[in-house]
A and B are shown apart, each in its own frame.
Chain A
Amino acid sequence: MARHASRTRGVTALTLSEIGSRVAGAAESGRALRIAGRGSWLEAGAPVAAGETLSLAAYSGIVDYVPGDLTITVRAGTPLGEIAAATAEHGQWLPLDPPGSPDGSIGATVATGSYGPLASAFGRPRDQVLGLEAVTGTGEVITVGSRVVKNVAGFDLTRLLVGSWGTLGVITQITLRLRARSDVERTAAVAVPARGPKLAAALATVRNARLAPLALELLSPEVAEGVGLRGGTVLLARLGGNDESVNAQLAELASLGESITASDGCWERLRALDAEMTATLRFSTPLTDLPILWDALADVSVGDHLILRHATVMRGIVRCLVRTPAGAAPPAPDSLAAVARPLESARLIPERLGAMWSRLAPSSVNDPISRRVKEAFDPANVLNPGILGAAQ
């Protein structure tokens, strides 16, 4: 394929040096900054004590895209949808489908390490980011990683910054690995047992089935309904490959339960469900404990609030969405305590818990190494202070 670089103009009302001096100024004065992308997920993370906001929305656009290299370099404020549109023209995609909408920014997605069902086959942002540029807490610009698909030069600051929720640096530019779309892609669904040993057995069968899914998501009945599927607890699969392999996988899936008509649109609707929720949490569990966690979360009750669940079966991830009835107040912190600690082996990865965050989730950056990392990159503690919990 010819080397053909494409760029979009994007919005660059902001410059890198302005970002640098905003941060440097904040560090000098000790006035903390709330780092924002396009502002669609600002309630995520623990509450941040910051007087000013530094928004990257005005720092967007594709800097370099060479389809033949399957890599793209974009500014942090670029909407995911813009990347999707540019890459689709060449039969490629960035297989990253975090909760929210195509309007979310790549910078925020990477900073929060967010991902969705496609992580099943393509991993998390940590697995897809090749390199980045960031402004550290002292206002210095650093460029780490590379623009090629494989690189081990130097210590891996890329991994450190991805998922650090803006607390170690303001991510300004990102190079990502893309994938070519497969020839054929199909979405299909089957009904599975709602819970208990039957569900556990079904999931064990699925894990060892003759499937190589791009995504494989277990949906509780309310989530299934929310994405337009009827049939109780549902396993929603996204399959890719050539005709023959996709057909064989469809047949394999159909042998696992009663087929339910599903469409590609289900995936966008699943991402969009988050918007209706008052709180969301994520858990990571060993694969074999996933059904146990699934049941435990079904059994907690939070007053009138509804707990919706979906799980990335091949990755041991369960997400829990709290829906509050119209007109009702958000759930009280104590009422959510049982949701936050359902099972010993499950790790809570808090997402959107508002003021309840600090009560339900211990600080995730309070160990000696994390504290020293923060001290090394944001010594004045001006970048999103407190968003991952306080370091005491």
Chain B
Amino acid sequence: MSLNAEPARPPGGDYTLDAGLARTLAEIVGEKHVLSRQSQLLVYNSDGLPGYRRQPSLAVFPGTRDEVIEVVRALHAVGAPFVPRGAGTGLSGGALADGIVLLGLNRLKQIISIDVENRTATVEPGVVNLHLNRALGPKGLLYAPDPSSQAACTIGGNVAENAGGPHCLKYGVTLNHILAVTVVLPNGSVVTLGDEVGDHAGYDLVGAFVGSEGCFGVAIEITVRLTRAPEAVRTMLADFLTIDGGARATSAIVASGMVPAALEFLDGPTTRVVESSIYAAGYPTDAEAILLVELDGLVDGIDVDVERVKRICMDAGARNVRVARDDAERLKLWQGRKKAFGAMGRLAPHLVVQDAVIPRTKIPEILAAIHGISQKYGVLVCNIFHAGDGNLHPNIPYNADDAEQSERVHQAMREIMGVCIAAGGTITGEHGVGLDKIGYMEKIFTPNSLAAMCRLREVFDPERRINPGKVVPLHSCREWHATPAGRGE
């Protein structure tokens, strides 16, 4: 959530687009895949971040890899700035185009290949995370990163945001699963970063690209590493009467040497919201903390670990630990977690989904601080988070059209971010900086470090034409004088 409440801006922005551009683009992708009427563009004015509305002046939706390349070259020819967009679930404002061109990749939905024996898959950027996993399921494989938005978000968006998810505690985030990415640079040239084989000599450019939030180039083909589906899965629900108990259990489980597949924390307000919604999962509503613990792996020994987790939770003060008896019960327990945002969304017209990471040992003290802040500003904070990683999601349902309430929400969020930063944490664990967090960048990075980030960006996009104004504050990008030869192709 930004430092300032964002006033709605008139569509159109400051860029004057080349008058013939829409026609040129239509020639490449076909008339119906270029939108230029304000009424058509309205649906692309948000990415789930409340209070931010930015409308592109033109949107283009190529259907093939070659069309993407041609489109980017056409944009380059007239110097048009543009923003790539997957499913638009980013939550940080990253996919918003302010009066400039929006390049939608959601038509590039092909799973190009799945190599079962070598455990890799190559996909187009618009493939939806869950669709890839549906295709892999029957082959006994999975693509591990599982953002809660996986039913909608695209692999291209996941790569751009370095998305995480509940199961990243054991399996790692997107970065750990991307082998190669073919990218169209803003100047229209095409490069492949990384190597589908895995390790390779030279700089880790694929590592630099993952998480670059659409500011380095357009990913048009992505090769991912696949994981064998676990033989056995056990899901447990532990409930605590104090937040502290849940936090203590979290630490003890992580320190035990077992690596749970997931370790998710829901606080009392969240649980109650979920239970009063259509997504009710049978969570006890009088608990102040709920832990959802999932173990997976080989069948052998898994129930020994289940017993151990149970004991740890009971020792930490759990009232009860329930182990799901079958898949149906397991899915129900997860549904409450996965749909919690949706449930919160029903409380008020808008929902701020915050994202910060703190050292795991500071969870109790930060949650207490957040509770204090919520009281101070009279706002409802629902905490639901990836406890194993210390990745917090304090969420506030509110009405963005109520100026006074919005102001209180913004102040509360600013203070929450402040305590996370002061605790040695970071400002985003998975949603990215986008537009939303740009004001916090100078609080966690030195001017030198920010300038270095700008230099890296300029390697890929010297004109800063792709996704301009995102991630690093403009004034941090001091002049960088490179020799023309150094910048040339």
Tell me which residues from 130 to 175 in chain B have a Cβ below 8 Å from any Cβ of chain A.
Answer: 161-162, 164, 168, 172-173, 175
With known contacts A163-B204, A317-B199, A142–B429 Cβ distance under 8 A: no
Interface size on A, residues (CB 8 A): 89
Alpha-carbon distance A68/B388, docked complex (angstroms): 11
A180 at interface by CB-CB < 8 Å:
yes
A22 at interface by CB-CB < 8 Å:
no
Which stretch, A226-234, A297-305, A326-334, A346-354, touches the partner chain B? A346-354
Interface string of B355-381 (1 = CB under 8 A from A): 001111110000000000000000000
Among B172, B197, B440, contact of A284 (Cβ-Cβ < 8 Å): B197
B457, A143: Cβ atoms closer than 8 Å: no
Alpha-carbon distance A339/B237, docked complex (angstroms): 55
Q: In the assembled complex, which residues on chain B have CB atoms less than 8 Å from the CB atom of A254? A: none
Alpha-carbon distance A156/B482, docked complex (angstroms): 21
Alpha-carbon distance A212/B305, docked complex (angstroms): 15
A242, B301: Cβ atoms closer than 8 Å: yes
Q: In the assembled complex, which residues on chain A have CB atoms less than 8 Å from the CB atom of B488? A: 368
A142, B448: Cβ atoms closer than 8 Å: yes
A280 at interface by CB-CB < 8 Å:
no
B359, A155: Cβ atoms closer than 8 Å: no
Which stretch, B34-42, B63-71, B253-261, touches the partner chain A? B253-261
B482, A369: Cβ atoms closer than 8 Å: no
B252 at interface by CB-CB < 8 Å:
yes
With known contacts A126-B204, A286-B118, A182–B361 Cβ distance under 8 A: no
- A173: shortest Cβ distance to chain B, in Å? 13
Q: In the assembled complex, which residues on chain B have CB atoms less than 8 Å from the CB atom of A370? A: 202-203, 205
Residue of B nearest to A124 (CB): B199
A156, B208: Cβ atoms closer than 8 Å: yes
Among B255, B389, B458, B471, contact of A150 (Cβ-Cβ < 8 Å): B389
B458, A376: Cβ atoms closer than 8 Å: yes
Interface string of B419-457 (1 = CB under 8 A from A): 000001111111111000100110011101111110111
Interface string of A130-170 (1 = CB under 8 A from B): 00000010001111101111111111110110111000100
A160, B357: Cβ atoms closer than 8 Å: no
Q: In the assembled complex, which residues on chain B have CB atoms less than 8 Å from the CB atom of A367? A: 191, 202
Interface string of B283-314 (1 = CB under 8 A from A): 00000000000000110111011001000000
A248 at interface by CB-CB < 8 Å:
yes
B117 at interface by CB-CB < 8 Å:
yes
Alpha-carbon distance A141/B459, docked complex (angstroms): 20
Tell me which residues from 244 to 282 in chain A have a Cβ below 8 Å from any Cβ of chain B.
Answer: 244-249, 282
In the complex, how many residue pairs between chain A and chain B have their CB atoms under 8 Å apart?
A: 277
A66, B172: Cβ atoms closer than 8 Å: no
Q: In the assembled complex, which residues on chain B have CB atoms less than 8 Å from the CB atom of A1? A: 251-252, 255, 361
Interface string of B108-137 (1 = CB under 8 A from A): 000000010111100000000000000000
Residue of B nearest to A4 (CB): B361
Interface size on B, residues (CB 8 A): 97
A11 at interface by CB-CB < 8 Å:
no
B257, A150: Cβ atoms closer than 8 Å: no
B401 at interface by CB-CB < 8 Å:
no
B457, A155: Cβ atoms closer than 8 Å: yes
- B62: shortest Cβ distance to chain A, in Å? 23
A183 at interface by CB-CB < 8 Å:
yes
Alpha-carbon distance A348/B197, docked complex (angstroms): 11
Q: In the assembled complex, which residues on chain B have CB atoms less than 8 Å from the CB atom of A373? A: 203, 205, 456, 459
Alpha-carbon distance A69/B252, docked complex (angstroms): 11
With known contacts A142-B446, A144-B449, A286-B118, A347–B201 Cβ distance under 8 A: yes
A243, B301: Cβ atoms closer than 8 Å: yes
A249, B298: Cβ atoms closer than 8 Å: yes
B386 at interface by CB-CB < 8 Å:
yes
With known contacts A146-B426, A317-B199, A373-B459, A210–B298 Cβ distance under 8 A: yes
With known contacts A149-B389, A163-B203, A70–B198 Cβ distance under 8 A: no
B176 at interface by CB-CB < 8 Å:
yes
Q: In the assembled complex, which residues on chain B have CB atoms less than 8 Å from the CB atom of A288? A: 117-118
A316 at interface by CB-CB < 8 Å:
yes
Alpha-carbon distance A151/B432, docked complex (angstroms): 9
Chain B CB within 10 A, most for which of A348, A368, A377: A368
Alpha-carbon distance A144/B448, docked complex (angstroms): 10
Q: In the assembled complex, which residues on chain B have CB atoms less than 8 Å from the CB atom of A162? A: 204, 207
With known contacts A68-B361, A150-B164, A376-B459, A248–B300 Cβ distance under 8 A: yes
Q: In the assembled complex, which residues on chain A have CB atoms less than 8 Å from the CB atom of B391? A: 150
Q: In the assembled complex, which residues on chain B have CB atoms less than 8 Å from the CB atom of A248? A: 298, 300-301
A335 at interface by CB-CB < 8 Å:
no
Alpha-carbon distance A54/B211, docked complex (angstroms): 32
A183, B257: Cβ atoms closer than 8 Å: yes
Chain A CB within 10 A, most for which of B300, B391, B430: B300
Residue of A nearest to B449 (CB): A142
Interface string of B396-413 (1 = CB under 8 A from A): 000000000000000000
Among A66, A136, A143, contact of B445 (Cβ-Cβ < 8 Å): A143
Interface string of B454-489 (1 = CB under 8 A from A): 011111100000000001100000001011001111
B298, A287: Cβ atoms closer than 8 Å: no
B430, A152: Cβ atoms closer than 8 Å: yes
With known contacts A155-B457, A368-B489, A370-B203, A68–B452 Cβ distance under 8 A: no
20 A/B residue pairs, CB under 8 Å, sorted by A: A70-B254, A144-B445, A144-B453, A148-B424, A149-B360, A150-B173, A151-B357, A151-B428, A151-B429, A152-B162, A152-B211, A152-B429, A154-B449, A155-B457, A244-B301, A287-B117, A315-B198, A349-B201, A372-B459, A373-B459
Beyond contacts A148-B359, A316-B118: 7 other A-B pairs, Cβ-Cβ < 8 A, are: A155-B215, A156-B211, A249-B300, A288-B117, A317-B198, A376-B458, A376-B486
Q: Kindly list the 3 A-B residue pairs having the minimum CB-CB distance in the complex, ordered from nearest.
A: A159-B207, A245-B301, A248-B300
